[in-house]
Structure 1
């Protein structure tokens, strides 16, 4: 199942009305232009009916010429009005799509890290590309067509009623079957297209993870397993698309068969009325022409309805991203009311009490952690691989919430802090980093948009980013694909420079210098320690030199803190840390 929710119908309806309300003046202009174009189009059948009656009455050529000239003028007016109406409609659609894309990007960037990890790259990639594109085409192309077609149909059937009420009633003979099959289709279309979107996301996820782990797949000879996995996902996509195709294979044939009924009925009943002198030949011809003219907008309306269902399903998936709550707030403390007092700006006291944590439905990774980190303290957390060090770092940063227990900052649960405030006060830097396409200045400005060039250069110097001196364009150097590529070590120093600029109260470094060589890492750690003096620093240490320089060291083994004290105290104790230290120094 998807890790991200899907918006329900009321939310989609409110969002759609919101897109219209923001640009209501343009919507009014579009509707007026389309209405005027539709009225101009109505004149032609009525004028042709007048010509038929005039010929039957023996009118002269002068009268016929005037009617023919009026038809030409109406056709020209209809063409011009339609052209400007479509132009205005497309401009409105492009503005609406731009706002939709900007809103989606903003909601996606606000997602907690744990939500992104759980959702998977395939789900987010599908929503940000396929679904947003589908909604864009719906707003830009489908909605204007449906508005135009609905307006034309209303005016055309109204014209038949005004022409002759009895013929107007007969013209409705095809509607019952169309309404019935449309209701049948709409009840089934939304869940079917949502299922198709979810299946497509699963396929994207499968292909993406296989491509990203190609070396692992090859090394462990997992090719057959991944192929089978991919075929299974392809099978789900195929089944979901067959389901939507089955709906269309019923919907469109019934609709197409219903088009001829009203025209045939009007001609038959019109003959009866004509025989009884209750209608003129011109009225019957005009009514038949109106109904013939109604086929084209009705056909467009019903054909685009299928695309509209795709668009609404995609719109629900796009809006669902904004409905995702931070799973960290679902901890046992999340039900408590959130304090409204301002958060102090000083470095706070970070306390863990009885914290237990497990991933999904798996076994506990952390078992009753108790830890108090003093304000301004440098704490190193060491232990063997798989001991739970990175998991504890995520809990301290508020990315995940403990299954039991609490992680609090100055007495407030970390997960109760506003996400923006939490990110400002606590920063987690891991081995994973990203260099964005753009200038070096752009990459640094993500951490501090108002930072000056001098501050950015100072941040690079603080983390010993010596490679900056070799850049001919300095902060204006383009980074990323097709430009200057940063190696893993340089990119990690860039991430640390961002940290210096962000200047959070509490720094959690999860092996943040792992990509650097020992000498550079040591120099970087010392420079960084000087810059963040007075801040609380929690370092997940893979090099014990980091632990040696810390105020205290916590030893984590099998999800439990087994030792806690200063470097000298733990070495004298002769326990697990002492063994690690002696092994580190040979």
Structure 2
């Protein structure tokens, strides 16, 4: 859904990504594929070893045709004709077997290579900074992993990587033609300069067209993904016609880019065909002139040479035609390769061995989580957290409150190292989070977010976090402890399918499953990020036992807008404009008469004193 300050033109035609820029050479991109292909070197070795075999088997066939004609017209030898026919049959069989094995090995190796590259691209996406993913449409990222990888696969599917085989065939044909007739060969070679000039003129324009095709595909995917995710809002505001218009404009850009690529492809193919026809005509004309000055015997013998030469001319332009087609595919694949490798070259958020963070501040004994002089900004020069100092003791429940944008959720993102601090240190068990392997760090936390995300699968898989061998008894126990088991039984048991994002479950049911998942993981640190903000008061009251079960015995951070839900926390941290404004218990902060007291007064102006609901009742239950 576009904002008021964004024009339709800006939304549907953002600047095209160049992937690697004009200075990215084709050869350099192809070299980037070598390490991926090297893993399957046996298959590619078979492919290239068979290149001369298939080329030679094909190239001797016109010579055998000449010998067959000479045997019939000049020597009039049936024995020789039969022998030549046998050799011709052997050449055809060898050519067939070699080409089949060559293509099969190439396709197998190519598919394995692209599968490895696609998996690496997806793995890279998982490690990218959230700052990049925040600014990049989902559809564009998906395009990198799927469409662009598939376009690179065309290098192998089309045999474009075997362009060297076409070159070998061309050289072989020229050698055989020189052997047959030097002057006729020179006539054929006259076609090469204009052909080379045409290919060079079309090359750059073709690459630009394919770059735009890749970019507009990414735009199409990004737009569709956004609209499908927000289809309820689109329908609610009656924007179907406007969105269709925007989509048609993006689609038109994609169509026009394809038109340009088709135009250049057709132009290149037509040039090759035209030069081929002209060359054949010139050769036949020159051969007819020469045969006119020969005697009868020499003229009869020359017939076989001309027929063989005609065959070589036809074969000469076959690899040239294929090279032009493969060149088209090569440009498309390299345009995609620029984008895939640009993604793979991006800086990662997490260093596998952790970062060198210098001297780490000491924390007092019993402190589980600590923030030391922390500053963080999503955009340079605009910090959302400043001068943050906070200790969370082991087993303590800390509530974090404040206005929207005060920096509450940012604290938890820094703890999980979804973002790195601009200054200072975030410590877990006395270690800076940047010095820990991400898996080690995040394995200590269970998180229940405000917007619960359930994956397509079963209840069992989602509650067990898709463990390879889930403990069914433990899953059932977690569901019972959070009060979700009656709902699961009513739904049909643990094997009930969950639709994408849990669309077939209510908000309260999704929340219960998220609580059960956190309980199943049984980790020492718990983050509840406004975990009941999206449910009504009645549903929130039913969730109180689930929250109580989660908080018991854990070090917990509870982010909440509803102050009634956290009044019995061990301490309440009040955030204001990225800084800690107040810290204390509910009673201490009320007595202080500061920001928390004012927030409390505004929220509970119409409520009777002492009312506790939802998480507040759960915090109270766990504290008692």
With normalisation by structure 1, the TM-score equals 0.83
2:499 matches 1:480: yes
What is the aligned partner in structure 2 of residue 22 from structure 1? 39
Written as runs of structure 1 = structure 2, the 5 A alignment for 1:437-448 is: 437-446=456-465, 448=467
Uncovered stretches (5+) of structure 1, i.e. residues with no partner: none
**Structure 1 391/242 Cα, relative in aligned 2: closer, same or farther at 3 Å?**
farther
**Structure 1 419/252 Cα, relative in aligned 2: closer, same or farther at 3 Å?**
farther
2:272 matches 1:255: yes
**Structure 1 372/558 Cα, relative in aligned 2: closer, same or farther at 3 Å?**
closer
Contact 2:454 2:501 in 1 (8 A): no
**Structure 1 367/22 Cα, relative in aligned 2: closer, same or farther at 3 Å?**
closer
> 2:262 and 2:437 mapped to 1: Cα distance?
46
**Structure 1 315/475 Cα, relative in aligned 2: closer, same or farther at 3 Å?**
farther
Contact 1:107 1:322 in 2 (8 A): yes
State the Cα distance separating 1:237 from its structure 2 match: 2.6
What is the aligned partner in structure 2 of residue 105 from structure 1? 122
**Structure 1 107/354 Cα, relative in aligned 2: closer, same or farther at 3 Å?**
closer
What is the aligned partner in structure 1 of residue 511 from structure 2? 492
Contact 1:479 1:485 in 2 (8 A): yes
> 1:147 and 1:295 mapped to 2: Cα distance?
15
> 1:243 and 1:78 mapped to 2: Cα distance?
37
Contact 1:145 1:301 in 2 (8 A): no
State the Cα distance separating 1:528 from its structure 2 match: 0.2
**Local SS of the residue matching 1:349:** strand
Q: State the Cα deviation string for residues 130-166 of structure 1 (Å, max 9, x = none).
A: 2233233432334366465444334333332344455
Contact 2:127 2:348 in 1 (8 A): no
> 1:354 and 1:374 mapped to 2: Cα distance?
15
State the Cα distance separating 1:292 from its structure 2 match: 0.8
State the Cα distance separating 1:527 from its structure 2 match: 0.3
What is the aligned partner in structure 2 of residue 464 from structure 1? 483
**Local SS of the residue matching 1:374:** strand
**Structure 1 356/222 Cα, relative in aligned 2: closer, same or farther at 3 Å?**
farther
**How much is the aligned-residue C-alpha RMSD, in angstroms?**
3.9
Alignment partner of 2:426 out of 398, 408, 425: 408
With normalisation by structure 2, the TM-score equals 0.79
State the Cα distance separating 1:311 from its structure 2 match: 1.9
Contact 2:461 2:470 in 1 (8 A): no
**Local SS of the residue matching 1:486:** coil
Uncovered stretches (5+) of structure 2, i.e. residues with no partner: 1-13, 609-624
Written as runs of structure 1 = structure 2, the 5 A alignment for 1:462-541 is: 462-467=481-486, 470=489, 474-480=493-499, 485-504=504-523, 506-515=525-534, 517-530=539-552, 533-535=553-555, 537-541=556-560
> 1:523 and 1:564 mapped to 2: Cα distance?
27
Deviates more, 1:568-577 or 1:5-14: 5-14
Deviates more, 1:315-324 or 1:39-48: 315-324
> 1:487 and 1:381 mapped to 2: Cα distance?
27
Aligned residues: 573
State the Cα distance separating 1:75 from its structure 2 match: 2.6
What is the aligned partner in structure 2 of residue 368 from structure 1? 386
State the Cα distance separating 1:250 from its structure 2 match: 4.1
Contact 1:45 1:289 in 2 (8 A): yes
> 1:135 and 1:466 mapped to 2: Cα distance?
49
**Local SS of the residue matching 2:146:** helix
**Local SS of the residue matching 2:527:** strand
What is the aligned partner in structure 2 of residue 353 from structure 1? 373
State the Cα distance separating 1:201 from its structure 2 match: 1.4
> 1:428 and 1:181 mapped to 2: Cα distance?
61
Written as runs of structure 1 = structure 2, the 5 A alignment for 1:60-99 is: 60-99=77-116
